[in-house]
Amino acid sequence: MTTTAMLRAFCDAVEQRNGKAFAELFTEDGVYHDVFYGAFAGREKIAAMIDDWFYRTATDFRWDMHDPVSDGTTLYARYTFSYTSTLPEANGARAMFEGVAIMTLRDGRIADYHEVANTAPAFVDLKFAPERIAKIVAKQGAELKARPEMQRHLG
């Protein structure tokens, strides 16, 4: 599968709430590190992340990957991600943010997925209180800094 086809299948699976198809893009021992929910290891948990976690408080996902670059082992792609929130305080607002996907590839599949994202605009879109936004962003920053494997990506 080409890089472009893999990324399209990745986005389509999320948009179609197809955790099984999404998880098949990963190695058996693959890990997805989500910016909001943390790490999901193995295909079963990765599929559940899409089918359950993602859709617990959101619907109508749109995910697009842009400008992918890969050396066959590591794949980087800039992305835009949006959804309609089903949280009561969001009143059906649509949230959007941008980020960079960082994937380690093995045997044509994703072995490890990380992302660095600016999620603050999404929280503003959802009309979260500034104090809540500050707390979420601070937590994400601390978690990112605590991951040694991310240091090479943060430069």
| pLDDT in the model for residue 131 | 72
SS (H, E, C) the chain: CCHHHHHHHHHHHHHCCCHHHHHHCEEEEEEEEECCCEEEECHHHHHHHHHHHHHHCEEEEEEEEEEEEECCCEEEEEEEEEEEECCHHHCCCEEEEEEEEEEEEECCEEEEEEEEEECHHHHHHCCCCHHHHHHHHHHHHHHHHHCHHHHHHHC
pLDDT in the model for residue 11: 97
Whole-number pLDDT of residue 47: 97
Tell me, what's the pLDDT at 153?
Answer: 47
Mean pLDDT by 10 residues, the chain (155 residues): 94 97 98 91 97 93 97 96 89 91 97 89 72 63 61 49
Pair 60, 86: CB distance under 8 Å: no
Looking at residue 75, its pLDDT comes to: 97
Domain definitions of the chain by residue range:
3-147
- What pLDDT is attached to residue 65? 97
What confidence score (pLDDT) does residue 22 get? Answer: 98
Domain 3-147 indexed as CATH 2.40.10.220: no
CA distance 138 to 130: 12
d(CA 97, CA 150): 20
What predicted TM-score, i.e. pTM, was given to this entire model?
0.81
